[in-house]
Amino acid sequence: MGEARDNDAYEEELLDYEEEEEKAPDSAAAKASGEAVKKGYVGIHSSGFRDFLLKPELLRAIVDSVQHECIPQAILGMDVICQAKSGMGKTAVFVLSTLQQIEPVAGQVAALVLCHTRELAYQICHEFERFSTYLPDIKVAVFYGGVHIMKHKDILKNECPHIVVGTPGRILALARDKDLSLKNVRHFILDECDKMLESLDMRRDVQEIFKMTPHDKQVMMFSATLSKEIRPPMEIYVDDEAKLTLHGLVQHYIKLTELEKNRKLNDLLDALDFNQVVIFVKSVSRAAELNKLLVECNFPSICIHSGMSQEERLTRYKNFKEGLKRILVATDLVGRGIDIERVNIVINYDMPDSADTYLHRVGRAGRFGTKGLAITFVSSASDSDVLNQS
């Protein structure tokens, strides 16, 4: 199924989206319902998959129950804009609802999923493959830059998928060249939509792609954070709170100077009991240098950043996900959407530039109902300002 099939030797351990169900008291539910109506949002609460009358083939692919908020509306074909905390299983929402509704027709693309990085596209494609295990007639393919476009054109010509996952630039190129027909798309999905709509170039590509699809289609947009500009037309607003918070995550900060960071990081890695750790830095050069330092200190470290080729990044991502390395040094390329189940500690070696980025970063730890720890180094007044906004 497209690029995700290239490495047959690698069978990625896909995620189970295990989460604890949270049931609010009746009075709280009533209050939440009232607030939802008042604000024009639809409140959706947790329920079991069987309540949604999912296809038996989909139920067989699910190991455990999932905490979800949008599936009832999504499988009815309603347009959805969903904000949910990291680790709440947003991917499962649109994967399941799309597979539930899709009626595959040979040679026609029925669903299009756009996301902002190759790694996220790769992961989403795997989720479609996992949940469609017992739906053998459904074909999925992933298209992104860094791969020769003729390879993607051959896939579309010889084995046209029913579900296409990809980055806006490559999808637009294929559509402009008439190799990818979007005239039969019934489900249009944006994952990490705020990231795509904030970038002017990416927004322009998304808008052009959107115009190539039929007017009568389902639109679903997902993110852990949504800007004020995106919120007004919301159909569903998950966890209607003053601001996004992270439950089950213990957050600490350490005030220190820039020169003290390396020593403190070494001390923490020696002292903490961790499964896997993600360390975030602010630039490609700092990622490379810090990883080099950790390796020299005999820590099992690997790094991922935008300065690497797409193939190298995916290889390193696989190695970390398989547990071959326990420490990952990364830029914000890994801050959104990437799920590594074993990560229980996130360290902000460099403070991110915004509160939203902070939430996405620390959301890598404590996912799927597990307890996580986030440690942030604060070395300047601007660092403190970001922390106070989080």
Q: How far is CA 281 from the centre of its chain?
A: 19
CA–CA distance, 175 with 301 (Å, rounded to integer): 40
CB 252 within 8 A of CB 376: yes
pLDDT at 84: 66
**SS3 for 123?**
helix
Strands (E), 185-239: 187-191, 218-223
> Interior CA angle at 125 toward 161 and 181, to 5°?
30
**How distant, in Å, are the alpha carbons of 14, 128, 191 from that of 136?**
18, 12, 25
The tokens describing 95, both together, are 């994967």
Residue 106: how many other CB atoms lie within 10 Å:
8
Give 3-state DSSP helix, strand, coil % of the chain, rounded to 5. 40, 15, 45
Write out pLDDT tens, residues 331-342. 887 756 566 778
pLDDT at 373: 86
CB 147 within 8 A of CB 177: no
CA–CA distance, 385 with 354 (Å, rounded to integer): 9
CB 206 within 8 A of CB 50: no
CA–CA distance, 7 with 91 (Å, rounded to integer): 23
pLDDT at 338: 63
pLDDT, the chain, mean: 77
CB 249 within 8 A of CB 390: no
The tokens describing 133, both together, are 């295990």
CA–CA distance, 125 with 313 (Å, rounded to integer): 17
pLDDT at 114: 97
What domains, with CATH codes, occur in the chain?
2-223 (3.40.50.300), 249-389 (3.40.50.300)
Q: How far is CA 71 from the centre of its chain?
A: 17
- For the ranges 105-119, 220-234, 241-255, the maximum mean pLDDT occurs at 105-119
List b or e across 240-272, with b for residues whose CB sees 16 or more CB atoms inside 10 angstroms: beeebebebbebebbeeeeeebeebbeebbeee
pLDDT at 98: 93
CB 292 within 8 A of CB 242: no
pLDDT at 8: 40
With a cut of 50, say whether residue 260 has pLDDT above it: yes
CB 317 within 8 A of CB 309: no
CA–CA distance, 335 with 289 (Å, rounded to integer): 19
Q: Which of 21-30, 141-150, 361-370 has the lowest mean pLDDT?
A: 21-30
Q: Which of 59-68, 159-168, 225-234 has the lowest mean pLDDT?
A: 59-68
Write out pLDDT tens, residues 283-325. 999 999 999 999 999 999 999 988 888 888 889 988 998 889 9
CA–CA distance, 267 with 144 (Å, rounded to integer): 40
Instruction: Name beta bridge partners: 347.
Output: 279, 375
* Confidence class for position 38, pLDDT limits 50, 70, 90: very low
In this predicted model, which residue has the larger pLDDT, 108 or 229? 108
Write out pLDDT tens, residues 172-187. 999 999 999 999 999 9
Using the 8-state DSSP alphabet, how is residue 61 labeled? T
pLDDT at 43: 34
Strands (E), the chain: 80-83, 111-114, 140-143, 163-166, 187-191, 218-223, 249-255, 276-280, 301-304, 327-330, 343-348, 372-378
Over residues 119-133, mean pLDDT: 93
With a cut of 70, say whether residue 381 has pLDDT above it: yes
Q: Which of 71-75, 235-239, 315-319, 328-332 has the lowest mean pLDDT?
A: 235-239
Write out pLDDT tens, residues 129-154. 999 999 999 999 999 998 999 999 99
pTM, 2 dp: 0.50
pLDDT at 85: 63
With a cut of 50, say whether residue 92 has pLDDT above it: yes
In terms of phi and psi (left: phi > 0; alpha: psi -120 to 50; beta: otherwise), the region of 17 is left
